[in-house]
Structure 1
Amino acid sequence: MTDPAEMNTVSQILEKMRQKGLDNEIKMTDHGKMQGVGLNKIYKPEDLTIIKTYRFEGMSDPGDNSVIYVIEDKDGQIGYILDAYGMYSDHEGTGFDDFLKKIPTADRDLQELFN
């Protein structure tokens, strides 16, 4: 089994989450709502907590910078939001960033999730 400290790529983190059944992606819809794809829920910022953030920097291309926000919803379901960051964000306008800024954070050790 891979130790979370050894997971250093986006695909390693996402694969580990998939193996644990935590691959519920949350995305912003075309209508500006955050929807849990795997859970088919619509979320408000107060429905979610960011419990861990993983940032990845591209070796040679700043466009490869990405971030995974591991999210827990108010029902205890774990999922994630995946995005490029900085000027390379996948979202136009301020809606996505404004939504993220409103989500409370509680940086947790996810060792128990990945073991």
Structure 2
Amino acid sequence: MENNNLKTLSEVLAILKDRGVTKEITMNSQKQMVLGNEEKKYQPADLCIVKSYRFEGDSSADDNAVLYLIEDKEGELSTILDSYGGESNYSGEEFANFLRKVPVQENEKHNID
């Protein structure tokens, strides 16, 4: 069933925060994917994408983003935000190559209604 009640990125982040997901994985200046303030460093095999939320800007194709809900091998949930188009949040291929290698196992329990 398709959900016609579309949410914004900030609304989805707020819902995830209410569910206890408060940390983000980002790429640091050494091109390593790290959790929060470098609490953990990850390789693609350490993670699994359990849900992806897509956002498209109304005014510009440059306002597109995907928010990935990630589960690590210890069961901790966090997010990775991938803005793409003219406003990409990462330059170079390292980020995209990392994401392509992360296994995907979408789980309906992470749906946002």
TM range (shorter): 0.7 to 0.9
Report the RMSD for the aligned CA atoms in angstroms: 2.2
**Post-superposition CA distance 1:23-52 (Å, at most 9, x none):** 210000011000010671111100000011
Partner of 1:57: 56
Q: Which runs of 5+ in 2 are unaligned?
A: none
Partner of 1:90: 89
Tell whether the 8 Å contact from 2:33 to 2:41 is kept in structure 1 after alignment: yes
TM-score by length of structure 2 reads: 0.87
Count of aligned pairs between the two proteins: 111
Cα offset, 1:61, TM superposition: 1.4
Tell whether the 8 Å contact from 2:24 to 2:80 is kept in structure 1 after alignment: yes
Letter in 2 for 1:66: A
Cα offset, 1:86, TM superposition: 4.0
Cα offset, 1:7, TM superposition: 5.2
Letter in 2 for 1:43: Y
Q: Which runs of 5+ in 1 are unaligned?
A: none
Higher helix share: 1
Tell whether the 8 Å contact from 1:25 to 1:38 is kept in structure 2 after alignment: no
TM-score by length of structure 1 reads: 0.86
Distance (whole Å) between structure 2 residues aligned to residue 20 and residue 38 of structure 1: 21
Partner of 1:99: 98
Tell whether the 8 Å contact from 1:25 to 1:36 is kept in structure 2 after alignment: yes
Percent sequence identity over aligned pairs: 38
Tell whether the 8 Å contact from 1:24 to 1:39 is kept in structure 2 after alignment: no
